[in-house]
């Protein structure tokens, strides 16, 4: 897990061939299942103490209890609200700044240098400052998530716009497109694949930021649930919290993939 | 009648390198002109200037009417359907109808709703041609539009271009490396070398032309390109 968001401009990765993936899928489950069985065995025989790590069965049972008594649901709602609003703020900032610096020379001249400098800061290291600025309520958590989202979106949107094939822009000029039409039909669509890569990275950093912010201080949410459990050596609850974080991350990733498939229908597959 | 293209003393330099060196060129409305020359002699540069894509030049290049261009690469927008690629920029309310008609002319009716990346090279090139034609240009610039195509598709495209030209009568400036192509299609062939027009051939053969009918003139054009056919054959 990286603590810095430097170098978040990645290339859109190509999907592996569908056929090969389908065939391999059942085989790929062999070792993970074996590991879980081994884990359960270690717990049952007492090799692995529940103070270090609870057994898979215990974890499953605690998960059931936490769901039943509503604790998990409540924590879940709090955390997801934080990510939602943090993402909204950071996303808006990233997109507005990315468009401004991607589409206008002046925007780029004025905006790009400071953003490129700031992005080298490990944004999770900003927590002390955010706490000084915003106190210990919801604001520093939203700010951290927003910062984690804004940079990858800005960088990828900006890079995507800059990568526009000049040949297409030239063709559009000769064919009589207005400037507005060139932006809408040529520049922005060609930035979409890279922007979606940025979106996926942004979701990744959003969850990471949330986890870190909630560990530092929180009186509600998944991070609070985990921290509280630690005080009582409840490793089962800690793991449940982690699994929920992971599932949330997987869900948003799947959503972006779904979006990619819809929006990038024009790509040859 | 006003000229479709009039170029006078056109000089273009990239840094210290002079690519076009005092070009004079007039093209009549409806005339089909082929531009031949070695790689790097400035053909694309001339076309880009005529299309208004490069204004940093000396001399004058006037193209009073509407210009359209088909590049060597089709340069279609991959994220817009084929018909949309043709109608965009036209600013006509019945854009789709116009596009469908143009696709019919290049015999691609069934592909109106296809994504460009699913087309074959020849099909994409025909869409690019349709897109250029649908603007009903006074001047049609074709920069090696058949360069990347196989011999059979090229043949079909020659017929298509001649056909479309006969019907719409734009002035055409066709850049090509292929002497036969130039002889089959053009009224006039210009040979460009080191930024100058070094030879002009009028092709008065009746249309539609057959390969055999152009053989004799082919030798003379090739000689201007510095190729001795007798020796090569
Ligand atoms: N933007 C540019 N900057 C610098 N040099 C350029 C530029 N565009 C073209 N040139 C140079 O101008 C010369 C003519 O280029 P041009 O593309 O017109 O050649 P061409 O006759 O079309 O060649 P080809 O048949 O290979 O397409 C080349 O030597 C090329 O390197
Ligand atoms: Mg060229």
In a domain, A156, yes or no: yes
Is residue A32 included in any domain, yes or no? no
CA angle centred on B14, ends B10 and B18, rounded to 5°? 50
A22 is a domain residue = no
**pLDDT at residue B156, as a whole number:** 79
Between CA B56 and CA B167 the distance in angstroms is 35
Ligand 2 centroid–CA B163 distance in Å is 24
pTM for this predicted structure: 0.84
How remote is the CA of residue B19 from the centroid of ligand 1, in Å? 7
Checking if the pLDDT of A15 tops 60, the result is no
- Whether A6 shows a pLDDT value over 50: the answer reads no
- Structurally, at CATH architecture level, domain B5-232 sits in 3-Layer(aba) Sandwich (3.40)
Q: What percent of chain B has pLDDT over 70?
A: 97
Distance from CA of A79 to the nearest CA of B (A): 37
CA distances from A93 to B56, B76, B198 (A): 38, 32, 59
User: How many whole angstroms separate alpha carbon B102 and alpha carbon B131?
Assistant: 8
Q: Check A174 against B131: CB less than 8 A apart.
A: no
Q: What is the CATH number of the domain that holds A206?
A: 1.10.3720.10
In a domain, A74, yes or no: yes
Question: For residue range B120-177, what is the model confidence (pLDDT) as tens digits?
Answer: 988 999 999 999 988 889 999 999 888 777 777 788 788 888 888 998 899 999 999 8
Query: Considering the domain boundaries, does residue A1 fall inside one?
Result: no
| Cβ contact, residue pair B69, A174, below 8 Å | yes
- Tell me the pLDDT tens digit for each residue of B77-129: 999 999 999 999 898 899 999 999 989 888 899 999 999 999 998 899 999 99
Backbone angles phi, psi at B221, to 5 degrees: -65, -45
- ipTM over 0.90? The verdict is no
Domain extent for A193 = 69-263
Rounded to the nearest integer, the mean pLDDT of chain A is 89
Domain ranges of chain B: 5-232
Sign of CA dihedral B54, B55, B57, B60: positive
Amino acid B168: pLDDT: 87
B90 near A CB under 8 A: yes
> What's the domain count of chain A?
1
Which among B166, B160, B206 is positioned nearest to B183, based on CA atoms?
Answer: B206
- Residue A58 in domain: no
B13 in contact with ligand 1, CB cutoff 6 A: no
For ligand 1, mutation pick of B14, B20, B21, B148 (most atoms within 8 Å of CB) = B14
Residues B55-60 have a mean pLDDT of: 93
Q: What pLDDT does A58 receive?
A: 94
A85-141 tens-digit pLDDT: 999 999 999 999 999 999 999 999 999 999 999 999 998 999 899 999 998 889 999
Q: What is the distance of C-alpha B1 from the center of its chain?
A: 23
Which of A217-226, A232-241, B149-158 bottoms out in mean pLDDT, i.e. has the lowest? Answer: B149-158
Residue B61 phi, psi (nearest 5): -135, 105
Pocket of ligand 1 contains residue B14 by CB under 6 Å? yes
């Amino acid at each position: 897990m990286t603590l810095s968001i430097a170098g978040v401009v990645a290339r859109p990765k190509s999907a592996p061939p569908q056929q090969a993936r389908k065939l391999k899928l059942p085989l790929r489950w062999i070792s993970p299942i074996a590991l879980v069985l081994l884990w359960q065995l270690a717990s049952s025989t007492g090799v692995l103490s529940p103070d270090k790590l609870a057994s898979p069965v215990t974890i499953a049972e605690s998960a059931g209890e936490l769901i039943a008594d509503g604790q998990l649901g409540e924590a879940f709602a709090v955390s997801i609200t934080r990510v939602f609003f943090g993402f909204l703020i950071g996303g808006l900032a990233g997109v507005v700044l990315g468009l401004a610096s991607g589409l206008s020379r002046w925007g780029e001249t004025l905006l790009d240098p400071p953003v490129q400098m700031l992005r080298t800061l490990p944004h999770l290291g900003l927590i002390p400052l955010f706490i000084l600025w915003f106190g210990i309520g919801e604001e520093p958590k939203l700010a951290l998530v927003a910062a984690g989202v804004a940079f990858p979106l800005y960088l990828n949107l900006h890079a995507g716009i800059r990568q526009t094939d000049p040949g297409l822009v030239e063709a559009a000029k000769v064919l009589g497109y207005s400037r507005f039409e060139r932006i809408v039909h040529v520049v922005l669509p060609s930035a979409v694949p890279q922007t979606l890569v940025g979106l996926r990275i942004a979701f990744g950093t959003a969850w990471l930021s949330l986890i870190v912010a909630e560990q530092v201080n929180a009186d509600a949410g998944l991070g609070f649930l985990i921290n509280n459990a630690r005080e009582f050596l409840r490793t089962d609850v800690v793991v449940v919290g982690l699994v929920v974080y992971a599932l949330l991350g997987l869900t948003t990733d799947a959503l972006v993939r779904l979006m990619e498939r819809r929006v990038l229908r024009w790509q040859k597959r | 009648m006003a000229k479709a293209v009039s170029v006078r003393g056109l000089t273009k330099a990239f840094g210290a390198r002079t690519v076009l060196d005092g070009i004079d060129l007039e093209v009549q409305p409806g005339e089909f002109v082929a531009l031949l020359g070695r790689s790097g002699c400035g053909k694309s540069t001339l076309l880009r200037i005529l299309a208004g894509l490069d204004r940093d030049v000396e001399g004058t290049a006037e193209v009073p009417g509407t210009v359209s261009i088909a590049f060597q690469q089709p340069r279609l927008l991959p994220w817009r359907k084929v018909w949309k690629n043709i109608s965009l920029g036209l600013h006509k309310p019945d854009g789709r109808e116009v596009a469908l008609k143009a696709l019919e002319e290049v015999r691609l009716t069934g592909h109106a709703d296809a994504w460009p990346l699913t087309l074959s090279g020849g099909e994409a090139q025909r869409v690019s041609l349709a897109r250029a034609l649908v603007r009903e240009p006074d001047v049609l610039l074709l920069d090696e539009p058949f360069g990347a195509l196989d011999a059979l598709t090229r043949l079909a495209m020659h017929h298509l271009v001649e056909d479309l030209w006969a019907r719409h009568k734009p002035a055409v400036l066709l850049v090509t490396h292929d002497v036969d192509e130039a002889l089959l299609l053009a009224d006039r062939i210009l040979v460009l070398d080191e930024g100058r027009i070094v030879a002009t051939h009028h092709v008065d053969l009746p249309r539609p032309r057959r390969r055999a009918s152009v053989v004799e003139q082919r030798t003379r054009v090739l000689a201007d390109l510095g190729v001795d056919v007798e020796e090569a054959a």
